[in-house]
């Protein structure tokens, strides 16, 4: 046995046989991290924590939930009224889904702004988009479980999307339903999949982290780490920063759970599902609205479905659409401008998705949809040809040292150590 | 044993390798199929009974909605004007051209699956106060599809006319759906 690494002999004994402590020490403690990360780098760990919260509350909810069309709605009401702390667990799970998407959307736009999808992090990015897709599937199926009006009609509309596929569309929809409409077999399989998909997400998250730790985090100025002077160990610097971010996040999350638990939901979902009556105005959960707007903007059924899925597919190939060698927007004045246009466009799509599909809203949805694809398919490939990027700093440490003498003293001290 | 790699041996090995892969693939596929097929409608779901409806009480201008295979079926006793307007429609202007005659057995009663062919919402137009759309038949509020008195798609994203279920008249006013 080589020299003992850990003070505790039991830890050493285990680590020799199962190097789990070496692994944790390497990946979570000494793990060298760029020293200039800002608060946008908190959202990855927040997403991971939210996933754990969803799994824990989900498992206890399913101990009280009944996946049958005659009992599902009542079993959720029973969770709300009779099960000890049931209301709390359900509200955490219900709002947790919304917060999960808030966190992940910010995480994604962070990646867009700082060019984190560029080489050598393409696979890391692609795994992230895959996680987004899995989250969407999970959240969609979870929303069906309480078997309210929105559950039922959301399930009907979304599964019917597949009927747009030529030739086999109808058979696929029947297969998804296990019948001729959304019914008990559908609810059963959705529960089963809703239970298991989050664990698949955990698996992909692990791959995401393996890919991340291969080259480490990107950083706000988007240039590679040049050596030890550019990094600090993950612990305690980023553990404490992540914890601080978590406490801010938890405060906001708790405020929603305790004071506005139904703010992000839809009142119609407290009406039991009725296959004979569609609510006058059906809308998906807020986190699907931009995609829903794209679906409705295209006046053709198959076209709408293709564009909606295309909106995510462009993200998969993003590393090859944007060929600029400069990562961070800080040094790409034009890209930065278009980034903010894209943010506005996505918010506009979200707003339009919630509005009825008539009059001016249809026109605006079409414009916003066109701009979304224009950004990814035309602007990004063209930009490197016309954009003059600002000069990149020599290293992460250089701008900091010259920026303030105070920082340079800190640096000097660290280097001596 | 001598180790001769004659061309013959190599062919044999290739054959063994390819046939092993092929057999393995067939084996895996035949195991996967039951896993997929269990999601198709079960025997009892397929055996869902047909529905009989008595139209005796259904006055001209009235409509009823009945359930068949978990879906709403619209039955409307059409007025003279509605029948005339459905019949007069030229086929040129239609997205899914069908004459009214092709869509009814007795022109007084139009029988439709009340499921929008876009993404499956139930269109409005069965109740007297409902919005009926620009063509007076049915209107789907989900994404704005307009259907005429014959249930044909006239405007909006739906690709085809409202579906006609299988049905037959057992007597003048008794119909069996399914
Ligand atoms: C990626 C993680 C997850 C997401 C995004 C998610 C999302 C959702 C959503 C949106 C609902 C509907 C909430 C409502 O309106 O009532 C729901 C319900 C439910 N989920 Fe999850 N969920 C996740 C993980 C899990 C897990 C791991 C389980 C079980 C092991 C689970 C079990 C349930 C149950 C039993 C319900 C029905 C009770 C209810 O509606 O509150 N969920 N989920
Ligand atoms: S479902 Fe009827 S218009 Fe979309």
pLDDT tens for A113-136 read: 999 999 999 999 999 999 999 999
Average pLDDT, chain A: 93
pLDDT at A2: 55
pLDDT at B29: 93
CB of B85 within 8 A of CB of B149? yes
pLDDT at B50: 81
Q: Is the pLDDT of residue A225 over 50?
A: yes
Which residue ranges have their beta carbon within 6 Å of ligand 2?
B 116, 118-121, 140, 142-145, 156-158
Q: Provide the terminal-to-terminal Cα distance of chain B, rounded to the nearest Å.
A: 73
pTM above 0.90, yes or no: no
Structure tokens at B28: 């895996």
- Please list the alpha-helical segments (H only) found in A145-183: 149-160, 169-177
| CA angle B5–B8–B14, rounded 5-degree value | 90
> Does this complex have an ipTM over 0.85?
no
- Beta strand B145-147 with B109-113: parallel, antiparallel or unpaired? unpaired
Q: Is the pLDDT of residue A8 over 50?
A: yes
pLDDT tens for A37-84 read: 999 999 999 999 999 999 999 999 999 999 999 999 999 999 999 999
Query: Is A285 known to be catalytic?
Result: yes
- Beta strand A231-233 with B63-68: parallel, antiparallel or unpaired? unpaired
User: Which atom of ligand 2 is the closest one to the Cα of A160?
Assistant: 1
User: Which atom of ligand 2 is the closest one to the Cα of B123?
Assistant: 2
CB atoms inside a 10 Å sphere around CB A116: 22
Residue nearest to atom 4 of ligand 1 (CA): A139
- How far apart CA A79 and CA A83 sit, in angstroms, is 5
Q: In what helix (H) or strand (E) does residue B146 lie, and over which residues does it extend?
A: strand B145-147
Mean pLDDT (whole number) for B74-93: 89
Contacts of A15 (CB under 8 A, 6+ apart): A5, A6, A21, A22
Which residue ranges have their beta carbon within 6 Å of ligand 1?
A 51, 54-55, 58-59, 61-62, 65, 76, 90, 93-94, 97, 100, 135, 138-139, 142-143, 145-146, 194-195, 198, 201
Mean pLDDT (whole number) for A149-175: 93
C-beta atoms of A180 and B67 within 8 A: no
Instruction: Measure A156 CA to ligand 1 centroid, in angstroms.
Output: 19
Structure tokens at A331: 């040094």
Task: Tally the C-alpha atoms within 13 A of residue A194's C-alpha that lie toward its C-beta.
Answer: 23
- How far apart CA A376 and CA A152 sit, in angstroms, is 34
- Kindly report whether the peptide bond that precedes residue A142 is cis, defined as omega within 30 degrees of 0: no
pLDDT tens for B97-125 read: 999 999 999 999 999 999 999 989 999 99
- What percent of chain A lies above the pLDDT cut of 70? 94
C-beta atoms of B45 and A296 within 8 A: no
- Please list the alpha-helical segments (H only) found in A6-121: 9-17, 20-24, 43-62, 72-81, 86-114
Q: Is the pLDDT of residue A407 over 60?
A: no
- Kindly report whether the peptide bond that precedes residue A120 is cis, defined as omega within 30 degrees of 0: yes
Mean pLDDT (whole number) for A254-271: 95
Q: Is the pLDDT of residue B43 over 80?
A: yes
pLDDT at A4: 65
Q: Is the pLDDT of residue B2 over 70?
A: no
Question: Which residue in chain B has the smallest CA separation from A186?
Answer: B39
**Three-state DSSP string of B65-101:** EEEECCEEEEEEECCHHHHHHHHHCCHHHCCCCCCHH
pLDDT at B4: 62
Q: Is the pLDDT of residue A409 over 80?
A: no
Distances (CA, A) of A349 to A110, A149, A282, A288, A362: 19, 24, 16, 10, 11
Residue B144's pLDDT band (boundaries 50, 70, 90)?
confident
pLDDT at A53: 98
Average pLDDT, chain B: 89
Task: Tally the C-alpha atoms within 13 A of residue B61's C-alpha that lie toward its C-beta.
Answer: 3
Q: Is the pLDDT of residue A401 over 60?
A: no
Q: Is the pLDDT of residue A415 over 50?
A: no
Question: Which residue in chain A has the smallest CA separation from B47?
Answer: A179
Pick from A188, A184, A182, A163: which is nearest to A173 by CA?
A163
Q: Nearest 5°: phi and psi at B38?
A: -60, -20
Pick from A383, A411, A384, A377: which is nearest to A397 by CA?
A411
pLDDT at A76: 98
pLDDT tens for A372-381 read: 999 999 999 9
- Beta strand A231-233 with B167-169: parallel, antiparallel or unpaired? unpaired
Residue A402's pLDDT band (boundaries 50, 70, 90)?
low
B contacts of A282 (beta carbons < 8 Å): 121, 142
């Amino acid at each position: 046995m080589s020299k003992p690494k850990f003070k505790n002999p039991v830890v050493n004994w285990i680590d020799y046989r199962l190097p789990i402590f070496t692994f944790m020490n390497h990946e979570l403690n000494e793990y060298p991290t760029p020293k200039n990360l800002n608060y946008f780098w908190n959202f990855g760990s927040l997403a991971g924590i939210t996933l754990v919260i969803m799994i824990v509350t989900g498992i206890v909810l399913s101990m009280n939930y009944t996946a049958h069309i005659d009992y599902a709605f009542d079993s959720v009401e029973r969770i709300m009224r009779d099960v000890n702390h049931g209301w709390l667990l359900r509200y955490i799970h219900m709002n947790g889904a919304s917060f999960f998407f808030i966190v992940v959307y910010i995480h994604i736009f962070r990646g867009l702004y700082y060019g984190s999808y560029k080489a050598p992090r393409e696979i890391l990015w692609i795994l992230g988009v895959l996680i987004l897709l899995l989250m969407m599937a999970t959240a969609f199926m979870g929303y069906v479980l309480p078997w309210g009006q929105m559950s039922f009609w959301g399930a009907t509309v979304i599964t019917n999307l597949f009927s747009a596929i030529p030739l086999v569309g109808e058979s696929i929809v029947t297969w998804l339903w296990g019948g001729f409409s959304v019914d008990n077999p559908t609810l059963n399989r959705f529960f089963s999949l809703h239970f298991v998909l989050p664990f698949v997400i955990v698996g992909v998250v692990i791959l995401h982290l393996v890919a991340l730790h291969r080259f480490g985090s990107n950083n706000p100025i988007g240039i590679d780490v040049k050596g030890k002077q550019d990094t600090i160990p993950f612990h305690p610097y980023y553990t404490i920063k992540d914890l601080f971010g978590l406490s801010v996040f938890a405060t906001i999350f708790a405020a929603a759970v305790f004071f506005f638990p139904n703010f992000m939901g839809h009142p119609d979902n407290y009406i039991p599902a009725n296959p004979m009556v569609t609510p006058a105005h059906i809308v998906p959960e807020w986190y699907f609205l931009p995609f829903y707007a794209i679906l409705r903007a295209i006046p053709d059924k198959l076209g709408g479905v293709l564009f909606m899925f295309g909106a995510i597919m462009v993200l998969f190939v993003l590393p090859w659409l944007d060929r600029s060698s400069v990562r961070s927007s800080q040094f790409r004045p034009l890209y930065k401008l278009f980034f903010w246009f894209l943010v506005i466009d996505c918010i506009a799509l979200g707003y339009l998705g919630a509005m009825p599909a008539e009059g001016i809203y249809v026109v605006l949805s079409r414009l916003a949809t066109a701009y979304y694809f224009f950004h990814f398919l035309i602007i990004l490939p063209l930009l490197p040809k016309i954009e003059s990027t600002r000069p990149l700093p020599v290293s992460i440490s250089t701008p900091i040292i010259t920026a303030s003498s105070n920082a340079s003293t800190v640096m000097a001290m660290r280097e001596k150590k | 044993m001598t180790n001769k790699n004659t061309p013959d041996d190599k062919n044999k090995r290739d054959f063994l390798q390819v046939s092993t892969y092929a057999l393995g693939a067939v084996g895996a596929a035949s195991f996967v199929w039951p896993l997929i097929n269990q999601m198709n409608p079960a025997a009892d779901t397929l055996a869902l009974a047909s529905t009989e409806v008595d139209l005796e009480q259904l006055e001209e201008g009235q409509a009823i909605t009945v359930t068949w295979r978990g879906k709403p079926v619209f039955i409307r006793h059409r007025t003279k004007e509605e029948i005339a307007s459905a019949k007069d429609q030229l086929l040129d202007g239609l997205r899914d051209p069908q004459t009214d005659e092709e869509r009814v057995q007795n022109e007084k009663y139009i029988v439709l699956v009340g499921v929008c062919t876009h993404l499956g919402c139930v269109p409005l137009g069965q109740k007297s106060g409902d919005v009926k759309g620009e063509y007076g038949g049915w209107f789907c509020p989900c994404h704005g599809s307009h259907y005429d008195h014959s249930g044909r798609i006239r405007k909006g994203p739906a690709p085809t006319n409202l579906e006609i279920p299988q049905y037959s008249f057992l007597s003048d006013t008794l119909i069996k759906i399914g």
